[in-house]
Every structure is written in structure tokens, then in C-alpha cells.
Amino acid sequence: MSKILCVLYDDPVSGYPTLYPRDGIPDIKTYPGGQTLPTPEAIDFKPGQLLGSVSGELGLRNYLESHGHQLVVTSDKDGPNSRLERELPDTDIIISQPFWPAYLTEERFAKAPKLKLAITAGIGSDHVDLQAAIKHGVTVAEVSYSNSISVSEHVVMMILSLVRNYIPSYQWVVNGGWNIADCVTRSYDLEGMNVGTVAAGRIGLAVLRRLKPFDVKLHYTDRHRLSPDIEKELQLTFHPNVESMVKVCDVVTINCPLHPETEHMFDDALIAKMKRGAYIVNTARGKICDKDAIARALKSGQLAGYAGDVWFPQPAPKDHPWRTMPYHGMTPHVSGTSLSAQARYAAGTREILECWFAGKPIREEYLIVDGGHLAGTGAHSYSTGNATKGWEEATRFSAAA
């Protein structure tokens, strides 16, 4: 029997939904490139339901309890007296989500001697101190591809929202106005602009593909180059480093994982190398940008806009500068947790658990750390180290709530 601790975001303030705007979600057969969707033996939820919040329980309770396991679900994750901290000593498996991350630090690993598996229900395991996971022999796995397309759609939405000044224009309407000049003095067409992505992995490439029909000039930088066929098809310009790419771009979208190599990549120095009036859309991880440098650049006019859904830490404290800086289009961390994405990452989490309990290998593409080293996707896209430093700030949100 195992104890599984599942840390999920809170239910809606209006209560767990009983009715949804739509009756289901489309049936997707495979991901681009051919990777199959999660293949658990069964699921105990209806795709399209809210699964990522506490009452949704990722649809896991029946499955786990019918196999004799104990499931504890909580959103109380920050601070020394949190439920998470209290449950750690006898937890075998922890499941968390990037949207409401249970930061797994060296200290927390030390408090969890039985912990053997940390699952990210979603993509991005930077909330886990990977160095500590390696040291403590904990396997880290995530549900690769489950929400990559969801995020790429969000990126395109945010690029268009910033460049066309959508959010302030909407606000004029809500406020009863008809202020066309106020709306359009910051509004441009995307057509003809240079748009570049930092990383062309699953999300970055999907963003490039979706932007192609907008007749923009596409750029990318990555540690590994895409195939000549893809470069030709999308008429991509490859840049060997981020500096050379940002110099020529009007819009930069960030789609690389957060790891020691990418932490604070967008600082004052790099932003100064961008075109004046460039836009940044960052749905990758908040800490890839220096938060104060971004706020400064928006105030000075070096950046014309910044949007994204990722912050550091999460939840962001009420006085986080990105809540109030000018010309931003921030949302809470939602792009990868649409109802459509939830069905996939909940099924993927179950697949990982089924493999684990059956002693079968977890898919390579789901692995980040295994057997005391970076493995699978982790070995390809991450570097060893720890990107969780400063996570304690998250307690300030709960304390102020």
C-alpha cells in the first residue's frame, strides 16, 4: 500500500461545477510528430470535467483506493505548518502541478524518507530541486505533450492581444466608453513583424506553425537545430544564441524550460539588446525573466508589452510587480490547464501510476530524473541543478488571502 499526496489548486470560489459550457472535448488521436496520447488501462472521469482542482482529484480516487492505496488531496502547500509538510514523512508518491506547484526542496526531500516518485501532472518540473531528487533517488516524471498545444494556442492569443492592444480596448467597452483613439494609439498589425521563439521544442515549434499563416518572419534559437525540412517549410531563421535573435525581433516568445542555464536569461542587459518597443510573451516560466527588469523596461518604453501566465513564485504575492506594471497581459498560470489539457494530463498521471505499481517502465518521454540522473526528456532538455531558490515567497500569498 502506498500513500499518494496530491497537491492541486483550489476549487472555483463558486464551488465545484455541476454544469459546463460545452458537453465534451474533441477526441484527439495523436500529438504532432506521432507521440500517442496517454494510454492508461481505464479512466474514471468524463473528459471535459474540472480535474485539476481539489475536488477533481485528477480522477484518481477510485483507482487508487480500489487498489488499496491512500490518497490525500490538498491545496495547502506552503509554509512549515502546511498540510503538505505534515503529510511528507510517510508519503511514497507526490503529485503536483506547475499551476499550483508543491515546491520540492532539499529540506522537503529530507522530511520525506519514503518518497520515491514525484509526478508533475502537466509539463515542467522546475518546482522540484532536481539535484536533490537525484541525490535522494527519487524518480521525477511529467506528462510530456499533454498541454503543449494548449500553451501554443495561448501564446498566439497573447501575441495578438498585445500587438493589437486588445485588453485595454475591451476595458474601454466594459467601462462604458467608445474611445477609439485611446485604443488604437498602441495598436499594430502583426503582419510583417519579426517573431522569434527561444526554444523550438513541442511548444515553440507549435507556436511557429500557428504563426506562419500570419505572414510574419519567423526566427528561433535552440540548443539543437530543427531539421532542414522544417526550417524550409516554415522559412525559419536560426540564431546560434538568444542575443542575436532578440536584436532583430519585434516579438519574442519564450518556450524553454527553466533550469540553471535559463534562469534570469531576460535581464536588463539582454532586454537592452532588444528593439525598442518589442513585446515578450512568456508562458514558459516566470523565473526565466528578471521580474524587476521587465517592469523597468515597460515603464521606460524599451518594451511595448509583456504577457504570459507564469510567475515566480506561484501563487504570486499580491505585491508582485507584474500585477501592476504597465502594458501587461498577465493571467494566472492557466494556459496549460484548460479542461481539454486536464483530461490528457490526468490520464497521463494515471498511466505513470499504473506503470509504477506494475513495475513496468515509465515512457522515456515522461522521465525527467530516474536512477539517480537526468533521464528521458530531462536528459535532453534540462541541466542538473536547482531552480527553486526563493520559493518561500509563495507563503506571502496564502498569508495575505
Select 5 or 158, whichever has its Cβ closest to ligand NDP.
158
Q: Which one of 69, 314, 350, 396 is the catalytic residue?
A: 314
188: number of Cβ within 10 Å = 16
For residues 138 and 371, is the Cβ–Cβ distance under 8 A? no
CB 123 to ligand NDP: min, Å:
4
**Which residue is closest to ligand NDP by CB?**
201
14 is in an annotated binding site: no
Of residues 391, 386, 394, 383, the one with CA closest to residue 128: 386
Cα dist from 84 to 77, 345, 386, whole Å: 5, 22, 20
259 is in an annotated binding site: yes
CB 184 to ligand NDP: min, Å:
30
Active site annotation includes 333: yes
CB 384 to ligand NDP: min, Å:
13
395 is in an annotated binding site: no
Active site annotation includes 285: yes
CB 355 to ligand NDP: min, Å:
20
- Opening angle at CA 246, ends 162 and 227, nearest 5: 100
CA distance 294 to 271: 8
- The one-letter amino acid code at 304 reads A
Q: Which one of 97, 147, 165, 194 is the catalytic residue?
A: 147
Strand residues in 164-308 grouped as ranges (E) = 194-198, 217-221, 236-238, 251-254, 278-282, 303-308
**Backbone phi, then psi, for 266, in 5-degree steps?**
-90, 90
CB 391 to ligand NDP: min, Å:
15
381 is in an annotated binding site: yes
CB 248 to ligand NDP: min, Å:
17
For residues 97 and 7, is the Cβ–Cβ distance under 8 A? yes
What is the DSSP secondary-structure string of 344-372?
HHHHHHHHHHHHHHHTPPPPGGGEEEETT
Of residues 67, 78, 68, the one with CA closest to residue 101: 78
CB 199 to ligand NDP: min, Å:
3
CA distance 257 to 287: 10
Select 165 or 337, whichever has its Cβ closest to ligand NDP.
337
Query: What is the distance in angstroms between the CA of the first residue and the CA of the last residue of the chain?
Result: 36
Select 40 or 336, whichever has its Cβ closest to ligand NDP.
336
202 is in an annotated binding site: yes
CA distance 249 to 194: 5
Q: Which one of 136, 333, 344, 396 is the catalytic residue?
A: 333
CA distance 89 to 114: 7
Binding site for ligand NDP (CB under 6 A): 122-124, 147-148, 151, 198-204, 221-224, 255-258, 261-262, 283-285, 309-310, 333, 335-336, 377, 380-381
Select 253 or 302, whichever has its Cβ closest to ligand NDP.
253
For residues 155 and 283, is the Cβ–Cβ distance under 8 A? yes
Select 183 or 348, whichever has its Cβ closest to ligand NDP.
348
Q: Which one of 127, 136, 285, 320 is the catalytic residue?
A: 285
222 is in an annotated binding site: yes
CA distance 81 to 76: 9
258 is in an annotated binding site: yes
309 is in an annotated binding site: yes
Q: Which residues are annotated as a binding site for substrate?
A: 123, 147
Residue ranges of the annotated binding site for NAD(+) are 148, 202-203, 222, 257-261, 283, 309, 333-336, 381
Binding-site positions read 123, 147-148, 202-203, 222, 257-261, 283, 309, 333-336, 381
The catalytic site residues sit at 147, 285, 314, 333
